[in-house]
Amino acid sequence: MADTGTKNRTETAPKTARPPLHKVILINDDFTPRDFVVRILKAEFRVPEAHANGIMLTAHTKGACVVAVFTREVAEEKATRATEIARDQGYPLLFTTEPEE
């Protein structure tokens, strides 16, 4: 029988590497209205109302809050886009990204 090279394999298939995830972080400031922050979280990150309120309040009281995690490219895109929308409205609201440990 033809040698298919499939017998006696001791190596297991390598695990599919998953891309490292990056956090999108909402930064507090003294000027952006709370309801605007909640609206951006809902519109740009598809966060439900109650969760959006919680994220906003955590950033408001602690200085920052993780919004969600994505691949690096998506995290950076979303953070940039949300920050730009706030700028267009005249607010200093800032979203940053950092790699997840």
Which residues bind to ligand TYC, rule: CB under 6 A? 26-30, 32-34, 37, 56, 59-60, 93
The CA distance from 83 to 92, in Å, is: 8
Nearer to ligand TYC, 74 or 91 (CB): 91
The CA distance from 22 to 77, in Å, is: 11
What are the φ/ψ torsions at residue 81 (nearest 5 degrees)? Answer: -65, -45
The least CB distance from residue 50 to ligand TYC, in Å, is 16
Nearer to ligand TYC, 19 or 33 (CB): 33
Nearer to ligand TYC, 28 or 76 (CB): 28
The least CB distance from residue 29 to ligand TYC, in Å, is 5
The least CB distance from residue 71 to ligand TYC, in Å, is 23
Alpha helix (H) residue ranges in the chain: 34-45, 49-62, 72-88
DSSP letter assigned to residue 62: H
